[in-house]
């Protein structure tokens, strides 16, 4: 509703401008490099939407051209490219940059950590974004949340996972902290950009992969290369996609354009989650009913082991340096409070809705 109202407003403003004159000549021509295939549903289109919004909201004063992974720089080189100013902005996710900073992963997602709604609470009203801004300043970047996938799926496997022993020797594409957890469970985590997943899985270069959720996984055709589709995505309970802007470029903007860039990111951050919420159900239905995908829930024993290992991995993040300690403490404090509130709000409500639906179905 908010977005529709906003777009209607922007459209009217554009029409009014158009009636008087053409859009302003671009004062800033930006390149946005991304870790996604160009126009990939949700992620790539989110980057495109962000570019379009910045253009519309600024009346054409900032013009942003989006480059898919590999078009200007490879997927995992966008951080450096924006940092050194080869591109003015980028769109990716912070856990891809653990080679630069281990604690950066906390600004993406944490296994068994905050959900999308809670993550946004921490970012905008719980100190998360201030900490992220402080970290990225050291790399000459300004970050902003610019999309969220919600709870992801556990991934695609060609064998059933019935116990922790089934994870032994498993070569799986799984980024970030979740990858480290899998490693400690006896598996071999691999990080690959999205565009390389299908081929890697089909050729047997990897045994299993996670990607995002039904909407995105259907688009990549991952069901053609694996039989079992596991849930829940314990490793990515509400992943934030990031926008990063070269700090010098951002600071050279007048205040109104800075506000436009940040608020465009905020719009896309909410809109992407809404899109996933709307598209995942139908995509899951298609996967199961048209492509015979077998849905499986991770056994409780496997989740319990992964949870124990996750606690170890996440706690180690705090030990890196003073900044990591401060950030970890902020996240943990927020998580504790969020769990207490979610436990009596979202969780209790969803459980009641689910249970009462089942009772109604039984009676019917
Ligand atoms: Ca994922």
CATH number of the structural domain spanning residue 265: 3.40.190.170
- 289 C-alpha to ligand 1 centroid (Å): 23
In a domain, 140, yes or no: yes
First to last CA, the chain: 35
In a domain, 69, yes or no: yes
- 28 C-alpha to ligand 1 centroid (Å): 33
In a domain, 119, yes or no: yes
- 152 C-alpha to ligand 1 centroid (Å): 6
Cβ burial 16-44 (10 Å sphere, 16+ → b, else e): eeeeeeeeeeeebebbbbbbbbbebbbbb
Query: What are the average pLDDT values for consecutive 10-residue runs of the chain, which has 364 residues?
Result: 44 49 82 94 94 97 97 96 98 95 96 98 98 98 98 97 97 94 97 90 96 95 96 98 98 98 98 97 98 98 98 92 96 98 97 87 70
In a domain, 44, yes or no: yes
- 183 C-alpha to ligand 1 centroid (Å): 16
- 157 C-alpha to ligand 1 centroid (Å): 14
State the pLDDT at residue 9.
46
In a domain, 329, yes or no: no
In a domain, 35, yes or no: yes
In a domain, 227, yes or no: no
- 345 C-alpha to ligand 1 centroid (Å): 27
Q: Domain limits at 121?
A: 22-148+238-278
What total of structural domains would you count in the chain?
1
State the pLDDT at residue 121.
98
- 182 C-alpha to ligand 1 centroid (Å): 14
State the pLDDT at residue 271.
97
Identify the sign of the CA torsion 68, 74, 76, 77: negative
Instruction: Give pTM, 2 decimals.
Output: 0.90
- 176 C-alpha to ligand 1 centroid (Å): 9
In a domain, 199, yes or no: no
- 239 C-alpha to ligand 1 centroid (Å): 8
């Amino acid at each position: 509703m908010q977005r529709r109202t906003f777009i209607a407003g922007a459209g009217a403003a554009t029409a009014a401008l158009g009636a008087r004159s053409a859009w302003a000549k671009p004062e800033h021509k930006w390149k946005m490099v991304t870790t996604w295939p160009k126009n990939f549903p949700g992620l790539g289109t989110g980057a495109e939407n962000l570019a379009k919004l910045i253009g519309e909201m600024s009346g054409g004063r900032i013009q942003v051209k989006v480059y898919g992974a590999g078009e200007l720089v490879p997927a995992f080189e966008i951080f450096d490219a924006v940092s050194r100013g080869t591109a003015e902005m980028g769109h990716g996710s912070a856990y891809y940059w653990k080679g630069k900073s281990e604690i950066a992963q906390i600004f993406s997602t944490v296994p068994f950590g905050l959900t999308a709604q809670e993550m946004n609470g921490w970012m905008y009203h719980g100190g998360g974004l201030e900490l992220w801004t402080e970290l990225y300043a050291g790399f000459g970047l300004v970050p902003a949340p610019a999309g969220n996938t919600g709870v992801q799926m556990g991934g695609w496997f060609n064998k059933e996972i019935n116990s922790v022993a089934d994870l032994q020797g498993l070569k799986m594409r799984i980024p970030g902290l979740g990858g480290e957890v899998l490693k400690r469970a006896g598996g071999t985590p691999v990080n690959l950009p999205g565009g390389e997943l299908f081929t890697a899985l089909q050729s047997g270069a990897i045994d299993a992969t996670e990607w995002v959720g039904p909407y995105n996984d259907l688009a990549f055709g991952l069901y053609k290369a694996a039989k079992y589709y596991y849930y829940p995505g314990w490793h990515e309970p509400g992943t934030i996609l990031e926008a990063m802007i070269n700090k010098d470029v951002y600071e050279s903007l007048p205040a109104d354009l800075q506000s436009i860039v940040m608020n465009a990111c905020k719009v896309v951050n909410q809109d992407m989650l809404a899109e996933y919420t709307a598209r995942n159900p139908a995509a899951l239905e298609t996967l199961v009913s048209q492509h015979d995908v077998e849905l499986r829930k991770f056994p409780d024993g496997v989740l319990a082991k992964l949870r124990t290992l996750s606690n170890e991995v996440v706690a180690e993040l705090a030990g890196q340096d003073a900044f990591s300690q401060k950030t970890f403490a902020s996240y943990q404090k927020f998580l504790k409070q969020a769990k207490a509130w979610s436990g009596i709000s979202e969780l209790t409500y969803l459980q009641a809705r689910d249970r009462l639906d089942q009772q109604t179905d039984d009676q019917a």
